[in-house]
Structures are given as C-alpha cells and as structure tokens.
Amino acid sequence: MAQNGKPKVAFFDFACCEGCQLTVVDSLQTHLELLDAVEIVQFREAMTEKGQDYQIAFIEGSCTREEDEERLKEIREQAAIVVALGACAHTAGVNALKNLQPSLQDVREYVYGDKAEWYETYPARPISAVIEVDAVIPGCPIDRFEFLDVVKKVLLGKKPSIPDYPLCVECKLKENVCIFEKGGTCLGPITRAGCDAICPTFGDGCEGCRGLIPNPNENAMKDVLEKAGLTVEQLMAKMTLFNAYDPAQIDCKGIGAR
Amino acid sequence: MSNVNVNVHHLTRVEGHGNIVVDVKNGELVQCELQIVEAPRFFEAMLRGRPYYEASHITSRICGICATGHATASLRATENALGVEISEQTELLRKLLFHGEIIDSHVLHVYMLVAPDFFGVGSVIPLAGTHPEVVKRALRIKKLSGDLCAMISGRHTHPIAMTVGGFTHLPTVKELLDMRKRLVDAREDMDETIALLATLPWPNFERETEYVSLKKEDEYAFIDGAIATTDGFTYELPDYRKVTNETCVPHSTAKHTHHNRESYMVGALARFNNNYDQLHPRAKEAAEALGMKPIVTNSFLNSGAQAVEMVHCVEDSIEIIDELVDRGIKQEPLYEFQGKGGEGVGSCDVPRGILFHNYIIDDEGIIQGANCVIPTGQNYANIEADMRALVPQILDRPQKEITHMMEMLVRAYDPCISCSAHFMTVEFV
C-alpha cells in the first residue's frame, strides 16, 4: 500500500496491440474517480514514472520470446495479484496464429527475408503458460465494464469471477436475431459470455475472442458450422482465429526450432 | 560539454517499446539511434492460409489505436484484389468512421501523451488535479470520437461491423442526428484546444525533409487517392514499393524506408503540407491561429497539424452526416465471393501516416501472400535524421534537458511501435 492507503497498480505489456490498455484509459471517460481509488505506479504507454513497488499487476500481451519469460517472472515475484488483461495474455489470441504456420523459421523469413536471424521469436503463449495468474479479463479487446468490475472486486479483496456460460445466453437477452438465422456463422454456443454479445449485436458472428466455456462441445459446434455451409478450411479458420494456442503443439524444449 | 550519454530504456508515453541511444564523445556524435525492441508479431506471415474475409479482423489487431485504419486499408486491399465495388453509402460511412478514429487518436496524443511535457509532469494523471478543465475536455473529446466509432462499427478498438464491400450493421438516422448535435457542440472544445496549443512553447527546430501522403483533388485525403510527395513525385497505389523501399536495420525490429532522400516523413504534418488546400475553412483558421502555413518543417509541430486535423474532421463529419441523412440509410446486400482471386493494394492515411496493405488471394478465397507497410516504420529513418540534426544544437544544455528534448522529439511523431514492429526506450550510453 502507498502511504495514502491506496493499493499500487502497474500495467505491463508484451506482444500485443495495446488496445486493452487503451480501453483502460477509455474507462476513465466515465470513471475518472478510479484514479482516487488506486495509485498507478507504472503504465509505460501513458506515463513517465516507473515505480517498482506495486501490489497489483495487469499484464497485456503474449509471451513470444525467452526474454519475456524473465520479465514475467520478475513481475510475478513483486505482485501479490496478477491479472491477465485481454485475449493475448489470456489465450495468446491472434498471436498464436503464427504457431499454425509450417515453421517459425519460415515465418521469420517471410517477414524479414535474409535478416530473419536478427529477430528472435518462439511460439506465442498465454502468460499462464509461464507464471501463475490470479484473475483473467478476457476479450479482444477487453470490455471496459468488465475491467471496472474486476478492479472493484480486487480492491474489495474478493476473487473476480467471469461468466462460465456461453455467449448465446447474452445474445438471447439482447433479443438479437440469431446469426445462423441470418445466414452467417457464429461461435456463440461454445464461447465464454461477458461481452454483452457485441459482435452479433453489430451483425457479425462471434469469433471466440473470450476463449471457450468449460467443457465446450466442439464437435457439435463443428457439425453446426459445416451444416451452415463452411468448408473444412473455413471451419478450422473460424475455430482457430483466437483459439489457435494448443500447448500440445508446442515443444518448449525445442523453442525456436518449431 | 564534450561527452554526452543518453540512454533511455523503454521510452514512455508512446505506443510500444523503443530505446533512444545517443553517444557524444569529445563533442562529436558517435552514435544516435532509435532502437526498436518491440516483440515482432509477424502479421504478414500469419495471414497466409486464412480466408479473405478474416484479413480486416486479424490486421485491426496490429494496433489498438489505429485499428479502424488497419481494417479500412485491409478492406480496400481485399476489395481491389477481388474487384469489389463499394456503394456511396459505404464510402461515406467509412469516411465518417475514419474521422472518428483520427480525432480519437489525435486527442490521445496531443492531450495525454504530449501535453504533460509542457506542464512539466510525467503523465496526464497529475493534470487531473492541477488542470481539471484540460483533462475533462480531453476525455470529453475522446468520448465523442469513441462514441462516433461505436455508432458505426460497434466499438473503436477492433471495429466489428466493417466487412468486405460494406457493413453488417448500420446506424439509424436518429443516431446520426444525435451525433451531429454533439459534433456541433464540440466546436467549442476544438476552439479551446487550438487556443491551448497556441500558448505552448514549441521547440525551435527546423529541418526540411520529404513529406509523403495520400492526395486527392477534391478532398483532404484519408482513404484512397494517389501517393504524393513534397519533392514533386506522384505514384499510383500499386506502385507503393517505389516510395517505401523497405530495408532491415540491426537495431530495430521495425524496417526503415527511404525515397528521394535518406528519409521521409509521414503523418499529420505530411498531410498538412501536401493537402493544405483541401482543409475545411475552419481548419485553415485553426492553422493560422497556430502560425502554421505549408511547408512547415518543424517536426514538433506534427502535434499542431494533428489539432488542425481534429478541427477538419469535426467539420467534415457534420457535412458527411448531413449527406447521409439527406440520402437516407439503406440496407444494402453484402458481397459474396465470386470464385476469382487476385492481387490488390489498399491505402489509408491513418493518424500516424500513410499505410499500405497488399494481399494476394487465390481462387478459393484464401490469402496466399501479404505485405503491410506501417506509417511509424516509414518515420524511423526521419526521426533518426532529426535526432542527428537536433543533438548538436542542444549539446550545451544539461544532460537531463537533452534527454527530455530527445524524448519529446520522438514523441512528436506519435510513434506507434507495436504497429511498426514488425517500437521505444532512450539510451544515452
């Protein structure tokens, strides 16, 4: 705690677009009093100061390099509470799409040509693959109201909970016409709710950015998608857009080799 | 002072990770680098094998600030590859959405990232206590632009309703009219913004360079057009590589670019210098109040050009809404794939400058090749050229001040490192 009794909070980012931290900044539009409740000691994107005496760490981004592991472990050692902020930290998000490519050497050469060796990378992983995580705020990007809710619960000393029911529940409550009825496809039946079904509400099927519910029936989902007219390639693309990370595919000992 | 060592590790108040390294020995500049240490994410490689309709959703994730810009460039590349014509309504809605993003990004940069330098504080947070009216104005403008984006595409960061050939959701006339009223009300905040910027002591620093942006005859270009430079060159979009000439440099995970000179500049100042004539009259008045007339060669005034563009975008948004309401909002059929692929280039002048997406799509609709050239990447060589010109001019100042000036210079470019790494910390070694 700071001398003023406020908990000290720090924000960190790894491989990501920083959209979730921007969403945190956007939450100030309606909740400027947030700044009265905590003391932010580190937030590189928005401030110069870099305090190291934080208790709560919010981490955005995926682990994609060996040097990331060291930084993550240092944060874990300092922070009493670590919160994964957004899909990249939670499920490895779109960063894990590169894990599906034939080889990481090929990926590096495709972008950097004969200078590929200059740019270190290994398969993208969620931060939970490296350190213990106390709470997760899913989504790409996070939902600002869910962020505020998690912050409130953490400040009250409670364990934040996120919905474990599928998106379809929220979508029905929004009284949306089902995307499948409109001729589209949607991962709502197997995806964790909590975003207020924002994509279906704006006419686009769920892409699974919040990760899957516990015990999802993926085979039934694939059948439904196939029936809706997706080819096998399209179906696999749909299932992997935000959920490509598969620990079984990653040989951590041979990191860099795959 | 004959020896200066600046070593800023993980530069703050920028998007992404970079270091500034300046080494002066016996009064001579030995090393002057902007090191980009952001983890590369390999988007171009990741796009291969994905269906064409995923490209805008994947590439919006390159950047949380210019997500809409990436999505728009991506859609234009896809549409050009597949021969998709877009309706006037779609074009108008995309322009309106794009204006929302320009305002959103510029207000973030001008108020939250740059302004603290002039108030002598490390972030916008202490300003909430000392200058609440400034912070509240910034948050008000940010909310307006965020709500404008959300009205059209669901949210600003990672737009939902934009798709190949059109939109999966349309705003209602009532929503448009409510937004119009808020935009008219925002004129006061725009005036206050220009008045505030006119009082700030912008550093004196002039270095002429080549300014590159999109250009259209009939409007201030943000989406489509030709590539124009202040050195007198014009290129069609498919020839973008003639301008960008990307090369890898060892101290950066972002590539560098050069055209007619060793470097060029993109962004609000480049657009201002190329397209001043097409600015809205109120934006020209704002530029006059800031003492800006093309060609402006002080890179620090990129923030001034951003404020001018905010005024322009508010005014043009009002006009676009009038046109949309006049036409009426119509449901339009969405594009269906025709079984024929192709190659296409799409370009937008996003908040930080000109952006290119280039895709090759096969006859199954699967992406086989992709190239993205990011604005911040195009600015790195020019930032380093500015650093090399600025350091000798301020060598007699205390090291702390030199460091601060270097950080301000880099920040003026509004670098978006996560976009370009394929960015930042200042190191005086």
pLDDT at B15 over 80: no
Q: What is the DSSP letter of B108?
A: I
pLDDT at B112 over 90: no
Kindly provide the residue ranges of all beta strands, DSSP E only, lying in B37-125, ordered along the sequence: none
A36 to chain B, any CB pair closer than 8 A? The answer is: no
Read off the pLDDT of each residue in B373-402 and give the average, rounded to a whole number: 91
Looking up tokens 């498919």 gives: B238
Which residues 175-204 in chain A show a CB within 8 A of chain B? 198-199, 201-204
Record: contact A19-B158, CB cut-off 8 A: yes
pLDDT at B386 over 90: yes
CA distance A200 to B23: 54
DSSP output for A30-52: T-TTHHHH-EEEEETTTBS-B--
Record: contact A106-B49, CB cut-off 8 A: no
B410 to chain A, any CB pair closer than 8 A? The answer is: no
Q: How confident is the model at residue B221 (pLDDT cuts 50, 70, 90)?
A: very high
Tell me: the pLDDT tens digits for B38-72?
778 889 999 999 999 999 999 999 999 999 999 99
pLDDT at A258: 26
* Non-local CB neighbours of A65 within 8 Å, separated by 6+ positions: A120, A121, A122, B39
Read off the pLDDT of each residue in B18-29 and give the average, rounded to a whole number: 85
H or E element in which residue B320 lies = helix B302-327
Lowest mean pLDDT among A1-10, A230-239, B190-199, B296-305: A1-10
Which residues 110-129 in chain A show a CB within 8 A of chain B? 110-113, 115, 118-119, 121
- Candidates B12, B154, B169; nearest CB to A47: B12
Residues of B whose CB is below 8 A from A44: 10, 12-13, 17
Chain B interface, best mutation among A22, A27, A107, by max B CB count within 10 A: A22
Record: contact B65-A233, CB cut-off 8 A: no
Record: contact B64-A95, CB cut-off 8 A: no
> What is the nearest CA distance from A205 to chain B, expressed in angstroms?
9
pLDDT tens sequence for chain A (258 residues): 556 789 999 999 999 999 999 999 888 888 888 888 999 998 877 777 788 899 999 999 999 999 999 999 999 999 999 999 999 999 999 999 999 998 888 888 888 888 788 778 889 999 999 999 999 999 999 999 999 999 999 999 898 889 999 999 999 999 999 999 999 999 999 999 999 999 999 999 999 999 999 999 999 999 999 999 999 999 999 999 999 998 776 544 333 322
CA distance B333 to B90: 11
Kindly provide the residue ranges of all beta strands, DSSP E only, lying in B113-237, ordered along the sequence: 162-163, 166-167, 210-215, 226-229, 234-235
- Candidates A15, A49, A61; nearest CB to B123: A49
Please state the φ and ψ torsions of residue B93, each to the nearest 5 degrees: -65, -40
- How does the average pLDDT of chain B come out, rounded? 92
pLDDT at B16: 65
Cα of B366 vs its chain's centroid, Å? 29
**All structural domains of chain A with their residue ranges:** 8-155, 167-240
Give chain A's end-to-end CA distance (angstroms, integer).
Answer: 44
Residues of B whose CB is below 8 A from A23: 64, 157
Tell me: the pLDDT tens digits for B339-369?
999 999 999 999 999 999 999 999 999 999 9
Record: contact A17-B153, CB cut-off 8 A: no
pLDDT at B177: 98
Q: What is the DSSP letter of B216?
A: -
pLDDT at B428: 35
Chain A interface, best mutation among B38, B48, B61, by max A CB count within 10 A: B61
Burial class (CB in 10 A: 0-12, 13-18, 19+), A134: middle
Q: Please give the CATH number for the structural domain made up of A8-155.
A: 3.40.50.700
Whether ipTM tops 0.95, in short, is: no
Please give the domain boundaries of chain B with CATH numbers for all domains: 43-427 (1.10.645.10)
Looking up tokens 């790195």 gives: B380
CA distances from A246 to B147, B186, B351 (A): 36, 48, 36
pTM confidence score: 0.93
pLDDT at A214: 93
Residues of A whose CB is below 8 A from B160: 198-199, 202-204
A78 to chain B, any CB pair closer than 8 A? The answer is: no
CA distance B363 to B342: 8
